[in-house]
Structure 1
Amino acid sequence: MAKRALIIVDLQNEYEADGKLPLENLDHAVANARRVLGAARDSGEMVVHIKHETPGSHEAPFAVGTHGTQIVEAVAPIEGETVLTKHFPNSFRDTGLKELLDEADVENVVIVGAMSHMCIDATARAACDFGYGVTVVGDACATRALSADGVHVPAAQVHAAFMAALAFAYAKIVATSDLLSA
């Protein structure tokens, strides 16, 4: 059986209701991510926590050293789990993630976290481009509403569009219950 790792992307306080970038349905995504994390820990899979930080002003989202950069308590790392800090949407860029996975002979990655339309998308596409089998647990990811050219796009539609795009060529999209029952 191919070796698998769980990558938890940016489940940080900045996305909570009192953060600078609150996400819709974050509590639901975190609860599902916690279930996926528990299963990964129980099976001895590698777990990698990705934490976003923005160097510079303490007023910016994810400013270094602020409460917003801390990982949500429900999915906080335990001893032996790796935490990598990133400064870009792609969790592989300048973090050593690929080297870490390759050293552990990981062939497949499971991705959960935030935001569906940004860091989940960028990380899943990069993982696929690097040759990993990619599974995104759709109901363990969260996003927010967006707008472009005066068109408001609700968070549920943003999320669905990005999951559909990833499913087209980059990742298998599954529900938490399906991942855990497989």
Structure 2
Amino acid sequence: MTISKTSNPALILIDIQKGFDDIAYWGGQRNNANAEENAAEILKLWRENNLPLFHIQHCSSNPKSLLNENNTGNEFKDLVKPNENEIVIKKNVNSAFIGTNLKEQLDHANIKTLIIVGLTTDHCVSTTTRMAGNFGYETFVVSDATATFNKKGVDGQDFSAELIHETALASLNNEFAAVVTTDFVKQSIK
């Protein structure tokens, strides 16, 4: 799988929102501290090349969630804040395809290739990637422009954020998507 700007690939920025800055709320540990910076580099490249991009915003239906629309945590992080003319798609479940018109917009624009960045690797990034692969899009997940948090196992054991991240990517790679790096994407879209 290769990325070419002539194929008009779409950048999908998933849930890069201020609420994820509260690491204690999400588990106490996070990996890929530079994920947002890498996503911002890719976003800059997309803007410079006038390629399609979609900002996905998680709008939790739980009023106590940091990602609820009534909380400041729902706002996009400043590094990747959408410009006025850029598409924002709001969702309230893990997949950016469920309850939204993302697929219709992609298909209407004849987009076949997706580059996915954002938060969190094992939840919304993974779920959206799996659906994208099942829908037949040529899908790329950028490993160093995604991140997640540690998790407690069913028996109470601690799983590090890096382990959760790596296993989520391993489950996606060569099945639903190609897992690539920011440098790979930048080299592909020169």
Length-normalised TM-score, structure 2:
0.90
In 2, Cα distance between equivalents of 1:111 and 1:167: 13
| Structure 1 residue 140, shift from structure 2 partner | 0.2
Matched, 1:160 2:166: yes
| CA pair 73-103 structure 1, distance change in 2 beyond 3 A | same
* Partner residue of 2:95 out of 90, 95, 117: 90
Which amino acid is 2:96 matched to?
S
In 2, Cα distance between equivalents of 1:23 and 1:41: 32
Matched, 1:43 2:49: yes
Contact map agreement 1:86 1:94 (CA 8 A) in 2 = yes
Deviating above 6 A after TM superposition, structure 1's stretches of 4 or more consecutive aligned residues are none
Gapped runs of 5+ residues in structure 2?
Answer: 1-5
* 1:73-103 per-position Cα deviation (integer Å, ceiling 9, x unaligned): 1000002210010000001001100001111
Which amino acid is 2:118 matched to?
G
Matched, 1:72 2:77: yes
1:30 aligns with: 36
Matched, 1:121 2:126: yes
Which amino acid is 2:184 matched to?
D
Other structure's SS at 1:63 match: coil
| Count of residue pairs brought into register by the alignment | 181
| CA pair 156-19 structure 1, distance change in 2 beyond 3 A | closer
Contact map agreement 1:24 1:142 (CA 8 A) in 2 = yes
1:17 aligns with: 22
Contact map agreement 2:58 2:67 (CA 8 A) in 1 = yes
Gapped runs of 5+ residues in structure 1?
Answer: none
Which amino acid is 2:132 matched to?
A
